């Protein structure tokens, strides 16, 4: 069993170092939010998924990242869960009014 783990570890190391286009752990971290939001292009998403399949640390990190998002969403009061398009009308009017009355700079 230990020998099998050693072989798998060497294989993973070789893949990360030798295969062109493999994401590093840092690159995975840099792309995490886009991956979660579904904003990564298909090619980058495949690289991300492959890295997560091969890297135990990043797989745990992704799982913890998703749990954190879920916990934050659950703990936010319902009134704070509005979408960006749901700004209070009074706030919008105050911003528009303030921008109109502000003197222009030269």
Give pLDDT tens digits for 9-49: 787 777 777 777 888 889 999 999 999 999 999 999 999 99
Mean pLDDT of the chain, nearest integer? 81
Q: Does the reported pTM lie above 0.75?
A: no
Q: Which two three-digit tokens encode residue 103?
A: 């003197």
Domains in the chain with CATH codes? 2-77 (1.10.10)
Residue 103 vs residues 2, 11, 69, 100: alpha-carbon distances, Å: 73, 65, 42, 8
The owner of tokens 């939001």 is 37
The owner of tokens 């579904």 is 38
- Would you say 23 and 47 are in contact if contact means Cβ atoms under 8 Å apart? yes
């Amino acid at each position: 069993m230990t020998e099998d783990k050693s072989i798998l570890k060497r294989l993973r190391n070789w893949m990360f170092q030798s295969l062109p286009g493999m994401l590093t752990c840092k690159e995975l971290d840099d792309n995490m939010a886009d991956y979660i939001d579904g904003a990564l292009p298909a090619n980058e998403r495949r690289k991300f998924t492959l890295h997560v399949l091969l890297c135990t640390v990043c797989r745990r990190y992704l799982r913890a990242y998703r749990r954190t998002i879920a916990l934050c969403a659950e703990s936010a009061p319902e009134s704070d869960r509005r979408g960006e398009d749901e700004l209070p009308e009074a706030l919008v009017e105050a911003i528009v009014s303030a921008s109109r009355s502000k003197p222009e700079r030269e």
